[in-house]
Structures are given as C-alpha cells and as structure tokens.
C-alpha cells in the first residue's frame, strides 16, 4: 500500500504544524529547537514535520548528527489563491457594515 501524501490544506489544518511553520518562517531550526517550543514528544514533532515535508512546506537536511529544517513557502500560494476567491465576500460584508454604521450614526445626529 502506498504512503498517504498530504496536501497543503491537510498540513496547515493542525495548530501545532501552523506554529512549526511560524517558527521556521523566522529561521532554520534543528528538531531539538523546534521540539523545545512544544509540550509534546520529539517523536510527535517528527511526525508533524513529516506531514509538513510530505506537503512540501518544509525540507530538512542533515548537518552532523542533527537534522535542520527550513520553510518552503511556495505551496502556501495554493492556500492564498483559494482564499482570495472569498475576499470579495469579506470586502462586501465590510462595505455593508461601514454603510450601516455611518447611516446609524447620521440618525443619532438629527
């Protein structure tokens, strides 16, 4: 049976993995430093890194006895493009809210 390939949406669905991405956005980190930010085991962190790697959001390289991970943000473009479709709904709602607030304020001044 073939291994399950995780996509970017599955990878970012978990808050721990999102936090790992946030950490790696600042700098490349070894597993030991990534693990120090969480109250979960090193094994659990490695599983999260595997999913992120499977989605091509991170890549690791061996440096001596440690594995150093870095962020690969390119797959996040897919998420950005998906979300951009919904921008028009948010913008529309904000415009309506602005209109309602401005009109309600105008009524109080009369």
**pLDDT digits over 33-63, tens only?**
999 999 999 999 999 999 999 999 999 999 9
Cα–Cα nearest to 43, from 55, 53, 31? 31
Q: What is the overall mean pLDDT for the chain?
A: 88
CATH number of the domain located at residue range(s) 1-72 in this protein: 1.10.10.10
For residues 97 and 90, what is the distance between their CA atoms, to the nearest angstrom?
11
Separation in Å, CA 32 to CA 28, 38, 40, 56, 65: 12, 11, 12, 21, 11
Say if residues 58 and 70 touch (Cβ distance below 8 Å): yes
pTM across the whole model: 0.76
**What's the pLDDT band for 110 if we cut at 50, 70, 90?**
very low
Separation in Å, CA 5 to CA 23, 92, 97: 23, 37, 42
Q: Which residues pair with 28 in a beta bridge?
A: none
């Amino acid at each position: 049976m073939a291994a399950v390939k995780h996509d970017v949406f599955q990878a970012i669905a978990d808050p721990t993995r999102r936090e790992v991405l946030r950490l790696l956005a600042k700098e490349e980190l070894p597993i030991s430093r990534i693990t120090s930010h969480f109250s979960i085991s090193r094994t659990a962190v490695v599983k999260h890194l595997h999913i992120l790697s499977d989605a091509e959001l991170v890549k690791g390289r061996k440096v001596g006895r440690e594995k150093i991970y870095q962020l690969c943000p390119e797959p996040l473009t897919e998420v950005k493009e998906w979300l951009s479709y919904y921008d028009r709904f948010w913008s529309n709602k904000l415009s309506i809210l602005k209109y309602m607030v401005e009109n309600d304020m105008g009524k109080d001044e009369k």
